[in-house]
Structure 1
Amino acid sequence: MIETASMAGFLAAHGIWSVSEGETLIPMFAHENPQGERFLDRVMADDIAEGARAAQRALEDNEHGATRAVMVVDAYVHKDSGPVDALLVEAVEYGLAPRTLTIAVLYRPAGHPDGFAVFSPEFQGFDGDDAEFEAVADAFFAGVESHHDAHEVWAAHYVRTV
């Protein structure tokens, strides 16, 4: 699950870089084949919601026979204070017993009066044990850092809490 979490971090960082200047994120789907080759697709559709559904189907169907895959979609997370913009990251490590990791990267849009901000990611789901979670979380953040340009944007706009 370490490689999958790292891939998820890289793609989450890419998504944050995309929305940092105010654009709407086109849903992304990335997968890695058994030979270790990675592929990234922007899931184009008539509207963003249909693109998100298509990315979800691609993640579930695994028509590429991937070892692992990640999707990132722009959405909202509902908090007590109301809806908050977020990139929802869902990662799957396929196999006999597929394992998943779900993370919400909350952010404040570029058009907000207080400017663009990235908040602490919320780990919402993990198919693993507590002993493994810390290493998986570390791998996610290592993946974020591995995307140099995107990590610079993330770090420059990071705010700890919403």
Structure 2
Amino acid sequence: MKGQRWTDYLYERHPPARLHAWARELAYFRFCRAYGGHANDGDQLLAALRVETQDDLMRTLSTLGVPVTWLDPGDPRPVPGVAYTAAEFAHFPVAMPRFPGIGQPGHVELAGHRAHVWSHGDRLDISVADTLDPYSVSDAAVASAKAIEALLTPIAGQVVDPPQDDRNCVCPRYYPDLWPDRRG
């Protein structure tokens, strides 16, 4: 998508004034527009934290109040080629790629708000969307992200900006006009 078609898609659900307001309200979370199509993704507010070592990860999860799930090498794992129902598959632990002895947090509560926390190598992504429609973002999701940002302030040096490095992420790098006092 290029030009006007992209702009129409970016602002399809939220007018420019709303995205601009959200951009200025949030310090660490960024509005990320869904890729759409067959990606089965949704709009989200996304923040990312650098966690290069297991000690970094443990400190970060502790700061966020996320419990650590230690995995046993003998835990059952899905067998390639075997079909599982969604319920059966949900019982298998999912290990972090960089720290295979630790389980992915998944859906958690941060600062009293629902979020999704997932490790991608040397970073930890925190995603917030609407509670009733996990493919959408509203003012309620922005309020949740703002509350969660209070937990991120002490570890602000770990924040990766942009959390998603492409034009779907409304951030200073791709939309510098929204942050006139900052260059991404």
| Normalised-by-shorter TM-score class | 0.3 to 0.5
TM-score by length of 1: 0.32
Larger C-alpha radius of gyration, 1 or 2? 2
- Higher-strand-fraction structure: 1
TM-score by length of 2: 0.29
